Amino acid sequence: MHPDLEAHLVELKTRQRNMQAPVARRIALEKKQQMRDATMAECSAAYTDMLKRKQRQIQQHLVIAKKRNHEFLESLREYQRSVAESRPTPAAIGLEKAKLAFVDTVAEVYPAWQEELQRLKMQRLRQLEQEKHEIEYRRLVAQQVHYHLSHCAWLHVLAVY
């Protein structure tokens, strides 16, 4: 065989071996991606199933809640009908009379109570005003005493010189 041909064959074999590594890597990556896709599909299917179960549960709870609400409203309506149709009991009549007496008493006492409350508030306000004036007076007296003492001290210092 010709030496150039042998060199060329060796080079072709080397290239072929070098090409096999990227091809093997590509095949491995494709398999890995297929596995990821399969896993994602399984997770997606599981998530979809879980959502469907939750939706069925919510719909079942909705039906139960509607039934319970309907029963409650029906019992409320029945109670209202029975109250409207029945005549008041002696206890209910007594309670109504007691309520009216209480309202009358409150209406009678409330204005005087309001006036007394207003009078007490005004008295407290006058007391606070008086205290304010006393404090202001004490402050002025203290200020004047301080002025006179400091002025007299200066006069004493000047007199010594």
pTM for the model stands at 0.34
What integer pLDDT is reported at residue 3 of this predicted model?
80
Same domain, 110 and 58: no
pLDDT value for 116: 95
Residues 71 and 2 in one domain: yes
Per residue in 127-143, pLDDT (tens digit) is 999 999 999 999 999 99
Same domain for 156 and 107: yes
Instruction: State the CB neighbour count (10 A cutoff) for residue 158.
Output: 8
User: Could you tell me if 40 and 95 lie in one domain?
Assistant: no
Residues 76 and 7 in one domain: yes
Structure-derived torsion over alpha carbons of residues 117, 120, 124, 125, reported in degrees to the nearest 10: 60
Same domain, 11 and 81: yes
Q: Are residues 4 and 49 in the same domain?
A: yes
Same domain, 75 and 126: no
Q: How big is the chain, counted in residues?
A: 161
- Is the domain of 51 the same as that of 101? no
The residue from 41, 65, 86 where one domain ends is 86
Question: Domain range spanning residue 6?
Answer: 1-86
d(CA 139, CA 133): 10
- Tally of domains within the chain: 2
* 39 pLDDT tier (thresholds 50, 70, 90): confident
Q: What is the pLDDT of residues 88-145, one digit of tens each?
A: 788 888 999 999 999 999 999 999 999 999 999 999 999 999 999 999 999 999 998 8
9 and 73 belong to one structural domain: yes
Q: Which phi and psi (to 5°) does residue 150 adopt? A: -70, -35
4 and 42, same domain (yes or no): yes
78 vs 15, residue with greater confidence: 78
The stretches of the chain forming alpha helices (DSSP H) are 3-85, 90-160
Residue in the block written with tokens 């709870």: 61
Query: At which of 41, 71, 86 does a domain end?
Result: 86
Do residues 69 and 99 both lie within one domain?
Answer: no
